[in-house]
Amino acid sequence: MSQTLEDILNGPALQPPAGEVPNFVNPRNDNTVASLTYVLCVLATTLGLIIRAYAKFSGGKTIELEDVLAFIGLGTFYGSVWCGFHIMSTNGAFVHQWNIRVKDSVGIFYIHHIGYNLCATTLGIGKAIILIEWNRIFVTRGTRNTFYYMCKILLTFSTLNHIAFIVAENMSCFPYQKIWDPTVVEGYCINPRIYQVPGVIIPPVYDAIILILPQRAIWNLKMSTKNKIGVSILFLVGLLGLGASIARADTMFDFLESKDKTYTISGVYLWTLAEMTCYYLAFCAPWAPRAIANRGMIYRAFNPLLSHIGLPQKLEAAAATHSWPSKPTPAATNCWDTGRIYQRIRDPAMALAKLPSNTSTNNQEEGAAVPNGGILMTTEITIAMDHVEEDVGLDYPWSTGRRIRRGKANRG
């Protein structure tokens, strides 16, 4: 009897098709596709959060609730990626189930179970931080309008939906170990369609509503049409998440229909990671313009390094070998301070006749008296600021922190 059990555990986890011979040693896989997806998702998510953090830090913004939740969600996201890498390093991604031993499939399904719980948590957090952020952006504090109530309703529904899914996933079998261990014969499991089908059908509808929600608020802002289009595009990054959720639903139906679970679950897992990444990109995208506008902090941070390696002196020596005419830079000007913009300043008083050598010192210092034997021309410029051309709301994340003004110059 023990020998029979040993043979079962060492046998294929699924009966192979006709003509297929199980390969337990080096089965065919698509680890290249999986590893590339994992790396791209991690890089995109991490870079997006770094850009957001830099934009908030450089703009003097405080840490809000959505920032804390995003940090927690980043931990569950990295955990789900680790589960994917673990599967890839042990048995491989997109490996047919008949090329896996029964005893090895237990560990694979267990890691997928843990990873899928982490994914569900990250998806719930990703949707929550987007709604909290958008409610903070488009709803004035103390206001209770349609946008406010829509965000609250969607946030409540999404949170309850993901909690219900996680509970159903972890209570789908009794005993609990039967969820991932096919060798457990006693007990029972509910049909996974009961919770998996709603779990993949609702997100696309939900994502579509989230995409439409801020557009009306954006086009009611007091800004130019060009800026409205740009801001609208920033908030349409979520279209990628909508596409990923639709693809995840398609692969989930394939998983439910197929007996080759270890192969089809890999597709579900990759599209889930892509969907999580898109949520984070949608969360961080509105802050990209401010990060770009405040990039002077990065330049100033690298100035000491450039000076240490002597790059300014080398470039200055190379520039001296050219013969193009240029005006001398004022001694007090540090031309390597990239945080400033330098402009050439003309002398406001220009003598049209050659000044005699005995010009009084007082006249040179004051510049008010006409020098002996010369003609002095002065120019007075008065700038009158008419109005603010655009006021895009300096508290908006996409705002660069600058107001654009238009004025008239009166010369006399």
3-state secondary structure of 383: strand
Model pLDDT, residue 328: 44
Q: Write out the residue limits of the CATH 1.20.1070 domain(s) in the chain.
A: 2-16+26-293
Q: What is the DSSP string of 243-279?
A: HHHHHHHHHHHHHHH-S-HHHHHHHHHHHHHHHHHHH
Amino acid at 217: A
65-117: pLDDT as tens digits? 999 999 999 999 999 999 999 999 988 999 999 999 999 999 999 999 999 99
At 187 the pLDDT is 92
pLDDT attached to residue 337: 43
Q: Which residue has the higher pLDDT, 95 or 1?
A: 95
Over residues 278-309, the pLDDT tens digits come to 999 999 988 888 888 877 666 565 566 556 56
pLDDT at 208 over 60: yes
Distance separating alpha carbons of residues 239 and 182, to the nearest angstrom: 38
Q: Are 263 and 94 in contact (CB under 8 A)?
A: yes
pLDDT band at residue 314 using 50, 70 and 90 as cut-offs: low
Q: Is residue 170 scored above 80 in pLDDT?
A: yes
State the pLDDT at residue 141: 81
234 touches 279 (CB < 8 A):
no
Q: What DSSP state is assigned to residue 357?
A: T
Query: What is the rounded average pLDDT of the residues 199-219?
Result: 88
What confidence tier does 212 reach under pLDDT thresholds 50, 70, 90?
Answer: confident
Average pLDDT on 345-373 reads: 45
- Displacement of CA 395 from its chain's centroid (Å): 19
- Residue pair 41/274 in contact (Cβ under 8 Å)? The answer is yes
- The mean per-residue pLDDT over the stretch 158-166 comes to 94
What pLDDT score does 340 carry?
Answer: 39
What average pLDDT does range 400-405 have in this prediction? 48
Q: What is the pLDDT of residues 230-273, one digit of tens each?
A: 878 877 888 888 999 999 999 999 999 999 999 999 999 999 99
Range 135-156 average pLDDT: 88
Q: Which residue has the higher pLDDT, 229 or 386?
A: 229
Task: Please report the pLDDT score of residue 116 as a whole number.
Answer: 92
**If pLDDT is split at 50, 70 and 90, which confidence band does 10 have?**
confident
Which pLDDT band holds residue 387 (cuts at 50, 70, 90)?
very low
Determine the pLDDT at residue 369: 52
Between 376 and 223, the higher pLDDT residue:
223
Distance CA 316, CA 333 (A): 14
Q: What is the CATH number of domain 2-16+26-293?
A: 1.20.1070
- 334 falls in which pLDDT band (50, 70, 90)? very low
Q: What percent of the chain has pLDDT over 90?
A: 48
* pLDDT > 70 in the chain, percent: 71
- Res 256: pLDDT: 94
Question: Contact at 8 Å (CB) between 353 and 374?
Answer: yes
pLDDT of residue 167: 95
Distance from C-alpha of 370 to C-alpha of 164, rounded to nearest angstrom: 87
Tens of pLDDT along 17-65? Answer: 988 899 998 899 999 999 999 999 999 999 999 999 998 888 778 889 9
- For residue 311, pLDDT over 60 is answered with no
Q: Beta strands of 44-109 (E only): which ranges?
A: none
- Residue 70 burial (10 A CB sphere; 0-12, 13-18, 19+): buried
